Copies of this chain bind each other. A is one copy, B any other.
Amino acid sequence: LTEPFVTVHRVRFDEVDAAGIVYFARFFSWCHDALEAMLEGIEGGYRGLVNGRRLGLPAVHVEADYVAPLRFGDAVRIAATVERIGTSSIAVRFDLARIAPGGQPAVEVASSDAVATLRHVVVVTDLEEMRARPLPDDVRAALKPWLAPGA
């Protein structure tokens, strides 16, 4: 079985809303950051892709299912799995779970700790012309270890 790519986010002071829980749109930023982290291995990381090669990964579809609220200071384990690698597009699933603050990112999490599942579909895009481009080889290679079994 393939292990997911795991990062941990600690909920910041300004990420909650007037209801006292994390504002729903913040989850998408954390998952974007996790996708960037997955690409850290390519030359210059996602930064190099955008600033250097002027290629980006704009979203064409994203979705989120929320199961439990998060509060200031909660530690969140983000487990990313690549669901599909196409010619230009990438689909990634992110399973978010609450872990004890200071908990290890690789720790097993019970399903009762699940807080949300998100999906991002992004397309490699030439940022000057805003047109789709084939997935560069190094990006494909960086994603492959996290491809879901059977995908």
On A, residues with C-beta under 8 Å from B are: 12-14, 16-21, 23-26, 28-29, 32-33, 36, 45-48, 50-51, 56, 58-66, 69, 71-73, 101, 127, 130
Contact of A14 among B20, B23, B47 (CB under 8 A): B23
Max count, chain B CB within 10 A of own CB: residue among A19, A65, A66, A72: A19
Contact of A13 among B17, B61, B64, B71 (CB under 8 A): B17
The answer to whether A58 and B69 touch across the interface, beta carbons within 8 angstroms, is yes
Nearest 6 pairs between A and B by C-beta?
Answer: A47-B73, A18-B72, A63-B63, A25-B28, A19-B56, A24-B59
CB distance from A23 to the nearest CB of B (A): 4
Contact of A20 among B46, B65, B101, B127 (CB under 8 A): B127
Q: Using Cβ atoms and an 8 Å threshold, which residues of chain B touch A69?
A: 58, 130
CB distance from A91 to the nearest CB of B (A): 14
The answer for the CA separation of A24 and B13 in the assembled complex, in Å, is 11
The answer to whether A20 and B23 touch across the interface, beta carbons within 8 angstroms, is no
The answer for the CA separation of A62 and B27 in the assembled complex, in Å, is 11
What are some 15 contacts across the A-B interface (CB < 8 A)?
A: A13-B18, A13-B50, A14-B17, A14-B25, A18-B50, A18-B71, A24-B28, A25-B29, A25-B32, A45-B73, A45-B101, A46-B73, A48-B73, A61-B66, A62-B63
